[in-house]
Amino acid sequence: MVVARDRFVVHIGGDGPTDAELTAAVRQLGYRPTILGPAEAETELPAAPASGVALAASDSPLTAALDRALAGNRLVLVIFGAQWCLPCERMQRETWASPDLADLIDGVEVVEIDADEYTEVARRLGVVSLPDARLLRGDGTVLVRVTGFQSPGAVREAWRTATLAVGSDESPAAP
């Protein structure tokens, strides 16, 4: 099975690093490297949807969180991660648990989705790297998306900029 999530292609010439050096560098970043042949490396990755979330009823827990958020006029923070993802673990410890974000997250419907367990949801939403976090309105409109490890300050700034740009009256308290 080929999963387009967390996949990137590196083309190297004769002067580039060896396969062993490249593999070691990718492992240091918390990913599992695979060396592909030229034909495999040319496969197209799926495009991420521009906005909104197209979900089926079976896409719980996200569907249930969006329903609750829409009924309560709240926002949804959806965090895609995986058990093997070191940047996800770091972001959980240092960013989402930070007191610096407590006022933003308070009153927001938070849902964590294991991208390995809900592969179809991750695929349809265009998740191509982890962690992938999105702030959504209850109707599924994406207000902000951050990927890769982000500090509490970077998340706060992205969140503030996005909610101000759309003039959301649903936005959490401004920083």
97, 148 Cβ separation under 8 angstroms? no
* pLDDT given for residue 52 in this prediction: 47
* Two structure tokens written together for 165: 């740009």
**Same domain as 150, residue 113:** yes
- Do 73 and 144 reside in the same domain of the chain? yes
33 and 71 both lie in a single domain: no
Domain range enclosing 129: 62-165
Which of 163, 161, 151 is CA-nearest to residue 100? 151
* pLDDT recorded at residue 129: 94
Report the phi/psi class of residue 28: left, alpha or beta, with left for phi > 0 and alpha for psi in -120 to 50. alpha
pLDDT band at 10 (very low <50, low <70, confident <90, very high): low
Q: Counting beta carbons within 10 angstroms of the beta carbon of residue 98, is it exposed (0 to 12), middle (13 to 18) or buried (19 or more)? A: middle
Q: What is the pLDDT of residue 30?
A: 60
Is the domain of 73 the same as that of 39? no
CATH number of the domain enclosing 100: 3.40.30.10
- Examine the pLDDT at 51 and tell me if it is beyond 50: no
> Residue 126: inside a domain, yes or no?
yes
pLDDT digits (tens, 9 = 90+) for 114-141: 999 988 888 888 899 999 999 998 888 8
Query: Would you call 121 exposed, middle or buried from its count of C-beta atoms within 10 A (0-12, 13-18, 19+)?
Result: buried
14 with 39, same domain: the answer is yes
Question: Count of domains in the chain?
Answer: 2
Mean pLDDT of 135-156: 92
Same domain, 121 and 86: yes
Residue 119, judged by CB atoms within 10 A of its CB (0-12, 13-18, 19+), counts as middle
Write out pLDDT tens, residues 20-42.
777 667 666 666 666 665 554 44
The whole-number average pLDDT for the span 140-166 is 87
